[in-house]
Each structure stands twice: as structure tokens, then as C-alpha cells.
Structure 1
Amino acid sequence: MNVFVLTGAGISAESGLGTFRDRGGMWSRFDPARLATPEAFARTPEAVHAFYNLRRRGVREASPNAAHAALADLERGLAARGGGLFLCTQNVDDLHERGGARAVTHMHGELLRARCTACGAGRPWAEDLAVATPCPDCGRRGGMRPDVVWFGERPLHLAAIEAALLSADLFVAIGTSGAVYPAAGFAAQARAAGIRTHEINLAPSDTADAFDAATYGPATRAVPDFAADLLARTG
């Protein structure tokens, strides 16, 4: 069996990382137009760096939870049975990797990477960024930015994601709001192709009607139970 799993902020919430669109989420407290767009970075880079430095420290301090570990177990279990897991995340944290997942597709980039707007070079980056930070490749200052997808920018790896989605036997969305496209359209796209769909979330998402089945509850309980049941049925 080939399983496509899409994860959102809800899977990392129990690790202490905030969600974005729920009540009390990050975008209810911070204006994304001022902090998460190319225009904001061009206008007030110091404020953008301060915001992402704070988020980067939060990621470094967070630990993967049982839901991350369960997906890593599912990845190994499906491979042992001749199948596979395509793990696609909207999250910019590295908790899937630290939870044991071997292959993770970050469609919105990675907070623990930096990219130079002058030369385009990207690299792992765990420390703070500032306007004065020089690019290690070209030496330019002022252009180093978090290697994440901001509002108005195109998500990454879309061709590979679509190919994996349409070759899956099961599509699972975990901890997503169903409000951000193109990811919000994956369930309907999978269902139109005859692929079974399953939502795991605290509450129904904006696209709950596009799912054939659903499990609602905390990710640290729902995801391990789902993964264990799926492996038992495919064993």
C-alpha cells in the first residue's frame, strides 16, 4: 500500500509549537502581511528577522511527539510490506525528521535553513539571522532570509507532490485547517481520482466534506492508533 500523508501545524501543537488559523493561533496575534511576505522583508527586514528568529528558537527547543514517531513507524512498516509513505508537510519545523522519518517533503520550506536573495544559495541554518548577516557563499549582506515560503510565493516540490498523490492508495490529512491552498485541495483531488481519503484532526477542517473517513482527537493519541491499525490491516 502507498500512503500519502499531509501534515499541518496541528501535529506539532502538542510539542509546544503554535498553530496558525485556530482561535488564538499565530495569525490572530501577528499580521502575516507585516511579517511573512517578500514585501514585508523588503520594507522592514529587522522586524521579519526578529519574528523568525523567535520561531527558530522555538523549533530548536521543541521535541517531536508521539504523532511524529508514529508516522516514522508507519514509514518503516509500509516499506517492510512492499509499500511506501510519502510524507508531505506544510510545517517548517524539523520534528518529523527528529521523530525518525527518513523522507520528508517540505512544501513550505524549512525554518532551520536560510537562503540568500542575492545569489540564491541555501544551506542549513540554526542560528539567528540579521540584516548584517553575510551570505557564506557570495559575501553579500542584507539578503539572507529564512528559507520558507511566504504568502505570495509558490510552494515547493509541487510536481513531485502531485505525482505521489495520484499514485497513492490512501490520502491522509493530519492537523490541517483545510484553509491554505494548494494543500487544501489535495483531498478533493485524491477523491476525484478514486483514492480513499481520511482526516485526522482535533475538529472537522474546512474541507471535511472531501474525506471518506475521519478521526477527531489529539494527534498524539489519534495518529499512533491510526498508524497501528493501518499496519495491522496491511500486514
Structure 2
Amino acid sequence: MSKKKLVVLSGAGISAESGIKTFRDNNGLWENHDVTEVASPQGWAKDPHLVLDFYNQRRKQLYECQPNNGHYGLVELEKYFEVSIITQNIDDLHEQAGSSDVLHLHGELKKVRSTTDESLVYDLEGWELKWGDTCEKGSQLRPHIVWFGEAVPAIETAIEIAARADIFVVVGTSLNVYPAAGLLNYVPSATPIYIIDPHQPAFTPSKNITFIQEKGTEGVPQLINLLTN
């Protein structure tokens, strides 16, 4: 008998519990930078050295962080379900924990890409990307991140995954960031939705939504109990 498909949409909250800082904690500032300075094409054009340094510090921090019980709980669910994770996070904590199917909507911190040919994507050795590091065509490398104002190439794949969900789980995201938050619109109407968040999102719940008002480290174990007992 085939397993039911469980789709998870994860956001910054689950990473924050591992010590990853998020700009939403601090009025849109990240290490005292306005996000447009460090996470937009305009910011890159204006001061690429600042942008490179900013992501080098994010990468350095990531190498010091470990997955938490929320991440490990989602791996545990693979025993019972076919689990696909769609994450807004640029860290690799889901992969470190052992999740086998992870789609990154907003790019990956440990990867870099060409500034002239976005199909040229590379794994970065270590945490530092320097000015003068180039792709095979000789162009400067940039962080492999979807910046504000850029298209989200993986969204079509994410929509296809959401549309096949037998169970849909939201963890660590306020559902304020689009197009990711819009994925709920593609979940089949009969599919139960579980939202794990200490703060209940401000929208009218449908009859199929169950709220678990906890952080991921507490809420994911509760979800496992609900789904497996």
C-alpha cells in the first residue's frame, strides 16, 4: 500500500530555533542592514562587497548551527508518509537532519551562481565567497539566493507538489511572504492542513485547518502524535 503524501511548507521560525537569525525579528533589519541593501539586485549593483560580506557572515553562522527537534521530527514522519518539504529557508538544516526531499524556494546559502548565466550553479567550498571568484565563463559569482524583486523559479514545482498533498503542514512561517503563502490556494479542498505556529495566523480558518500553537520543536512532535495515533 502506498504511503500518503505529506507536504510541509517551512519558514524562518523553524531555523530560528537553531539560532539562525531572521530579519523579520527586527523590523525588517538584518544585522542592522535594511534588507534592500543586502537582498536585492539594486543592493548588489550598489555595493556588491557589502552583499558578499553579509552572506559570508550568514554562511559562517550556518556552519555553527545544528538541526533541532522540529527538523528531526519531519524526518521521523518519513517512516509513515511520503514527505516533501518546500522551504522558504536558505539554510540546509532540513538536509542535515536527514530529510530526503527538500525544495528550496528562495535559493541555498551554501551554493553560488554566475552573474551572467543563472544556470551555472556551484557548491561553495567553505563559508567565504570573494570578489574575484568567477564562474567558468569568467563572470563574478553571486549568492544563489532569490532576492527581493526577483522571480521565484521553483514556485511552479512547489505548486505541483502542493496540489498532490494528502496532508499539508505549515511550520515556522507567518504566511505573509508571497508567492510561498499562496501555495495554500493549491492544496486540494479535502486535504487536512496543520499549522504549527505560536501565533495563529490572521486569516479565517477553514474546517480543514488544525492549529498547533507551538514552536516547531514542540509542535512537530505533537503533529507526529496526531497523525500516527
Q: Do Structure 1 and Structure 2 share a fold, with TM-score over 0.5?
A: yes
Judged with a 3 Å threshold, the aligned counterparts in structure 2 of structure 1 residues 74 and 203 are, in CA distance, closer, same or farther, namely same
Deviation string for 1:8-57 (max 9, x for gaps)? 01011111012332356755942111110011111110111111111011
Question: Are residue 32 (structure 1) and residue 50 (structure 2) matched?
Answer: no
Question: Are residue 204 (structure 1) and residue 200 (structure 2) matched?
Answer: yes
**Aligned partner of 1:171 among 168, 172, 176:** 168
Question: Are residue 70 (structure 1) and residue 66 (structure 2) matched?
Answer: no
Question: Are residue 107 (structure 1) and residue 110 (structure 2) matched?
Answer: no
Secondary structure (helix, strand or coil) at the match of 2:25 reads coil
Q: Which amino acid aligns with 2:197?
A: N
Using structure 1 for the length normalisation, give the TM-score. 0.87
Matches within 5 A, 1:50-61: 50-61=53-64
CA distance in structure 2 between the partners assigned to 1:3 and 1:61 by the alignment: 30
Deviation string for 1:158-216 (max 9, x for gaps)? 2221111111112111000211101112224426x332211101212344736711001
Secondary structure (helix, strand or coil) at the match of 1:110 reads strand
CA contact (8 A) 1:18 1:26 kept: no
Q: Which amino acid aligns with 2:219?
A: A
CA distance in structure 2 between the partners assigned to 1:203 and 1:56 by the alignment: 29
CA contact (8 A) 1:172 1:198 kept: yes
Question: Are residue 149 (structure 1) and residue 146 (structure 2) matched?
Answer: yes
| Aligned residue in 2 for 1:81 | none
| Aligned residue in 2 for 1:11 | 14
Q: Which amino acid aligns with 2:131?
A: V
Q: Which amino acid aligns with 2:13?
A: G
Judged with a 3 Å threshold, the aligned counterparts in structure 2 of structure 1 residues 208 and 146 are, in CA distance, closer, same or farther, namely farther
Q: In proportion to residue count, which structure has more helix?
A: 1
CA distance in structure 2 between the partners assigned to 1:205 and 1:57 by the alignment: 32
Secondary structure (helix, strand or coil) at the match of 2:74 reads helix
CA distance in structure 2 between the partners assigned to 1:205 and 1:51 by the alignment: 30
CA distance in structure 2 between the partners assigned to 1:123 and 1:76 by the alignment: 32
Judged with a 3 Å threshold, the aligned counterparts in structure 2 of structure 1 residues 208 and 133 are, in CA distance, closer, same or farther, namely farther
Question: Are residue 225 (structure 1) and residue 222 (structure 2) matched?
Answer: yes
Please give the root-mean-square deviation of Cα atoms over the aligned residues, in Å: 2.0
Deviation string for 1:128-185 (max 9, x for gaps)? 11222232x2233xx2111011001112322221111111112111000211101112
Structure 2 gaps, min length 5 = none
Secondary structure (helix, strand or coil) at the match of 2:62 reads helix
Judged with a 3 Å threshold, the aligned counterparts in structure 2 of structure 1 residues 10 and 110 are, in CA distance, closer, same or farther, namely same
CA contact (8 A) 1:6 1:88 kept: yes
Q: Which amino acid aligns with 2:195?
A: E
CA contact (8 A) 1:2 1:85 kept: yes
Secondary structure (helix, strand or coil) at the match of 2:42 reads helix
Judged with a 3 Å threshold, the aligned counterparts in structure 2 of structure 1 residues 14 and 128 are, in CA distance, closer, same or farther, namely same
Judged with a 3 Å threshold, the aligned counterparts in structure 2 of structure 1 residues 63 and 24 are, in CA distance, closer, same or farther, namely farther
Using structure 2 for the length normalisation, give the TM-score. 0.89
| Aligned residue in 1 for 2:88 | 90
CA contact (8 A) 1:21 1:177 kept: no
Structure 1 stretches of 4+ with a deviation exceeding 4 A read 23-28
- Give the fraction of aligned pairs with identical amino acids, expressed as a percent: 36
Secondary structure (helix, strand or coil) at the match of 1:22 reads helix
